[in-house]
Amino acid sequence: MLDTHGRAVVQPIISKTADYLLKMGLSANQVTYIAFFIGIIASVLVYFGQPIAGVAVLWLSGFLDAVDGSMARKSKSSSSWGTVLDVTFDRVVEAGIIVALALRHPEPKILLLFLLLAISIIFTMTIFLTVGALSEKESYKSFYYQPGLAERTEGFILFSLLVIFQSHLVLWTTIFIGVEITTGLQRLLEARRILKS
């Protein structure tokens, strides 16, 4: 939701950063790799009990994840491979945060909630990626980007709440699961409308 409706607000910063990194000689795919490794560092920081640093590094990773797409469009180097890297690395970074928190909180109730959270993310992303592959609609990305309640920014906000407020993991994980399921159902209904037309 925030990505769809708030992109115009942050796009000038993303665009200027993309211009700067292109002038430095970096390619979009190189920045994708950098964002990925920074995202993995965020998981390591979370595991070692540095939640604020972990969240800050996670958001830096997410920012660069937005910049790489802008770089690809500016340099006319958008590719299917870049899209595969981008989507795959996003999921690995998210999984890394869940694993780091699970290792720090191995209580059965928390682990069950993390399992349900992972399933809800898989459910939502399966619909998102399948509709993107089947839909002929265009978007500013290399495939149709289905809007929804939980997009990348909402995910980062919810992951941040999980990391910073670990004493309330049950609450925030339950909310996160509810948001993901709602988004998945929302996208499923939209997919039915798009693909039947």
List b or e across 127-158, with b for residues whose CB sees 16 or more CB atoms inside 10 angstroms.
bbeebbeebeeeeeebbbbbebbbbebbbbeb
Per the annotation, the verdict on 68 as an active-site residue is no
List b or e across 32-51, with b for residues whose CB sees 16 or more CB atoms inside 10 angstroms.
bebbbebbbbbbebbbeeeb
Instruction: Phi first, then psi: give them for residue 105, nearest 5 degrees.
Output: -135, 75
Q: Are 2 and 153 in contact (CB under 8 A)?
A: yes
Residue ranges of alpha helices (H) inside 48-142 are 51-74, 80-104, 108-134
Q: Is 128 left (phi over 0), alpha (psi -120 to 50) or beta?
A: alpha
Question: Which residues are identified as catalytic?
Answer: 90
